Structure 1
Amino acid sequence: MSVITGAWRRTAAGAGLLATDGTVSPTIFAEMSALAAQEGAINLGQGFPDEDGPAEVLEAARAAIADGLNQYPPGRGTPDLRAAISEHQHRFYGLSVDPETEVLVTVGATEALTATLLALIEGPDDEVVVFEPYYDSYAAAVALAGGTLRTVPLRAPDFQPDLELLAAAVTDRTRIILVNDPHNPTGAIFGRDVLTEVVRLAHLHDAIIVTDEVYEHLSFHAPHTPIATLPGAPERTLTISSAGKTFSATGWKIGWIHGPAELITAVITVKQFLTYVGGSPFQPAIARGLRLDDSFFTDAAAALARKHEILGAGLRDAGFTVFSPQGGYFTLADATAVGGADGAEFCRTLPTRVGVGAIPMAAFLPAEHRSDPGYSGIVRFAACKRVPVIEEAVSRLAALRA
């Protein structure tokens, strides 16, 4: 008999990790990272940088530790970081956000999302609409909250949703429309028509919009447009972001959420019983980072875009069909022509065959859709590595075409 019960069972099932015998398997990310380590492969699977962020941000964290900022910060986050988040939203997007009542600092964007779903979902009659493929924590968090997940597919090559399918998915049972933009894993940036339709549907069905914008400063061809800037959106939108991707500090786990005060109050009511607070000396460091000159943010996006170009060119030379991303850490490629019609099996053998790790698209789909032929050969590679590492990975991948 399984000992997995209640919320644990729901979460494991939502993440696609619960086997029929009741056992829980590791995530595909853990599995592929372990395979890469075992084979001494270059890990282009999991999305973490292999170099540190700006020196002034690192130094601010060291100074905070030396200055004794090592105990619990305020529950909503340090006043200076909340002020910096408010300033950032106004500086880049023209949004007016009250740092006292409309901002909450969280332990990464994942906690912000999970606390939001736990706060706002009351049961299985509450539906959460997401674009598929999706970051795996979304389904797990919806399941943990006891809600029902509904998905709208994103198809190659541009990974933009069909607006008719989106309108059909959003109903009066929709509690939340969850939008990840720039999108992981596809690297898509949603068009203005998509964002406008999300706002229209949210008003029509009295839904809340929750946005995951952790790649906001890693948009390659145009500035990021938060949904909260659209007419009719601010009063029903919770915007989530974090420092990890922007400042190459994924291990610090400093995230935030902002939106209408009454919704933030609901989220903090749950969050205080999850982690309570986190990352005291990292909060002033991230406040410092958010106030860096514009050149830091534009340079970071340009540097990552260049890494994607190198990776994409190498993948094409190796025989992959590449879907060039518009933003974010990841490049998708169809491996069918190099023996990867089954993307999951391809990724399980890739570290041994050529010494490179990747993640199959199946990791970002519900279990019942993992054999969808539109996704089955697609795999994800992380470009957030040093250029010499990417060049070595590309050199190894060339062996697939030999």
Structure 2
Amino acid sequence: MIKQNQLNESNMKPMSGYLAPLVRDIAPSGIRKFFDLVTASKEDIISLGVGEPDFSTPWHVREACVYSLERGNTKYTPNAGVYELREAIAEYLYDSFQTKYEPANEVLVTVGGSEAIDLALRALIVPGDEILVPEPSYVSYSPITRITGGVPVGVETFAKDQFKLTAEALQACITPKSKVLVLSYPSNPTGGIMTYEDWLPIAKLVEEHDLIVISDEIYAELTYGQKHVSFATLPGMWERTILVSGFSKAFAMTGWRLGYACGHPELISAMLKIHQYTVMCAPAMAQVAGLEALKHGLGEKDQMVESYNQRRRLVVQGFRDIGLECHEPQGAFYAFPSIASTGLSSEQFAEQLLYEGKVAAVPGNVFGLGGEGFVRCSYAYSVSQLTEAIDRIGNFIRKL
């Protein structure tokens, strides 16, 4: 083994000097930071930090995968994904959200929705392009934009507007360099949604300023009271929109890493080029499971959504009862309570709550503009865990 002093005597730079500056300077995910702290802890901590269903993947979906493996289905699939799965995705999206795609050249199966977002941004961005991101938002959009040489531009949304994107806020951030608008509704971390009427003025601006839209609709199935409206269904927006989604949230398949992107064939073709040179194809066994979920798992999906809805009401009322303002999330499975009344920053609140209150939540500031003064709490946990967590948070606040 080479000793450290031998390295120091060579002409080798510190290892950080070899890293691409764009990558070296990106901060690690604020979500994973708190997840790692909980994982490393030996104490009785309740984690509300990770956006992962507490349900197991339905047994018949797992069984389909096992049976496929027993038959030796371990080969590469077509780069774009098994045609039967792409066909099922297109049929599901049309039946559920009235978005129409041709399986042959307008659907791409990816390694989770995260890969689809990465592919879309890399296929579109030229260094210097500005990418508009309504915030608070999922933590990956801005770092991926920076890695590709783009410039992320946050568009702030507010609790008073139920964290909806407004045309006024978007217009104020558009410049001649604006190229892509990244949308994430239902929203992680706020649970905000957009209605058809909400989308109309946004679509008008997209057309006026010749923008391309990446619409991350991974939580589309998780809405409460109002059906999800895909941005691609707005007049004139199909051609401009790359719809991104996957199986992780609605079908409790996070670890399977199965997602998809749909859009104009030229956009999908460009993304496919990157996909085939980097990951080749999504895992064959995950694709088998995804096909089974779409064919026979819709009933279980609906049962999970109803359970989340019950937990949503419990958590929102729980926060209000202990004195934290909390707007009512209409989608996803996150509550985003304000902790401004405590006098602590989001980071301070989350750290003290973790060590003193034994509850893990994610500080709102990691989600960008408008996130300071809030924390994100997932309610994709059992009722008993959520009830105990609310009690602990209430006790923590009373001791401040």
Does the alignment reach a TM-score above 0.5?
yes
Give the Å deviation of 1:153. 0.5
The 1:90/1:109 distance shift into structure 2, 3 A limit, reads same
Secondary structure of the residue aligned to 1:376 is coil
Measured in 2, the distance between the counterparts of 1:79 and 1:45 equals: 36
Give the Å deviation of 1:81. 0.9
30-39 or 290-299: bigger deviation: 290-299
In structure 2, the residue matched to 1:31 is 33
The 1:231/1:4 distance shift into structure 2, 3 A limit, reads farther
Offset from partner CA, 1:119-139 (integer Å, 9 cap, x none): 111111x11111011111101
In structure 2, the residue matched to 1:142 is 145
Is 1:203 the equivalent of 2:207? yes
Secondary structure of the residue aligned to 1:189 is coil
Give the Å deviation of 1:300. 2.4
In structure 1, the residue matched to 2:81 is 77
In structure 2, the residue matched to 1:335 is 339
Measured in 1, the distance between the counterparts of 2:261 and 2:313 equals: 32
In structure 1, the residue matched to 2:172 is 168
The 1:305/1:12 distance shift into structure 2, 3 A limit, reads farther
The 1:285/1:375 distance shift into structure 2, 3 A limit, reads closer
200-209 or 129-138: bigger deviation: 200-209
Measured in 2, the distance between the counterparts of 1:396 and 1:243 equals: 33
Q: CA RMSD in A?
A: 1.9
The 1:11/1:44 distance shift into structure 2, 3 A limit, reads same
* Structure 2: gaps spanning 5 or more residues: 1-12
Give the partner amino acid of 2:165. Answer: P
Give the partner amino acid of 2:151. Answer: T
Out of 333, 354, 359, the residue aligned to residue 356 of structure 1 is 359
Out of 297, 307, 311, the residue aligned to residue 307 of structure 1 is 311
The 1:155/1:42 distance shift into structure 2, 3 A limit, reads same
Give the Å deviation of 1:12. 4.9
Q: How does 1:191-230 map to 2 (within 5 A)?
A: 191-230=195-234
The 1:351/1:168 distance shift into structure 2, 3 A limit, reads closer
The 1:349/1:179 distance shift into structure 2, 3 A limit, reads same
Is 1:10 the equivalent of 2:6? no
Measured in 1, the distance between the counterparts of 2:194 and 2:24 equals: 30
Measured in 1, the distance between the counterparts of 2:172 and 2:33 equals: 36
Count residues in correspondence: 383
* Structure 1: gaps spanning 5 or more residues: 18-25
Measured in 2, the distance between the counterparts of 1:140 and 1:12 equals: 11
TM-score relative to the length of structure 1: 0.90
TM-score relative to the length of structure 2: 0.90
The answer to whether the 8 A contact 2:136-2:371 is kept is no
Secondary structure of the residue aligned to 1:246 is coil
The 1:290/1:36 distance shift into structure 2, 3 A limit, reads same
324-333 or 87-96: bigger deviation: 87-96
Give the Å deviation of 1:340. 5.4
Give the Å deviation of 1:347. 0.6
The answer to whether the 8 A contact 1:243-1:254 is kept is yes
Measured in 2, the distance between the counterparts of 1:36 and 1:340 equals: 24
In structure 2, the residue matched to 1:392 is 388
Out of 150, 154, 165, the residue aligned to residue 151 of structure 1 is 154
Measured in 2, the distance between the counterparts of 1:245 and 1:224 equals: 15
Give the Å deviation of 1:318. 2.5
The answer to whether the 8 A contact 1:84-1:290 is kept is yes
Give the Å deviation of 1:310. 1.6
In structure 2, the residue matched to 1:22 is none
254-263 or 198-207: bigger deviation: 198-207
Secondary structure of the residue aligned to 2:347 is helix
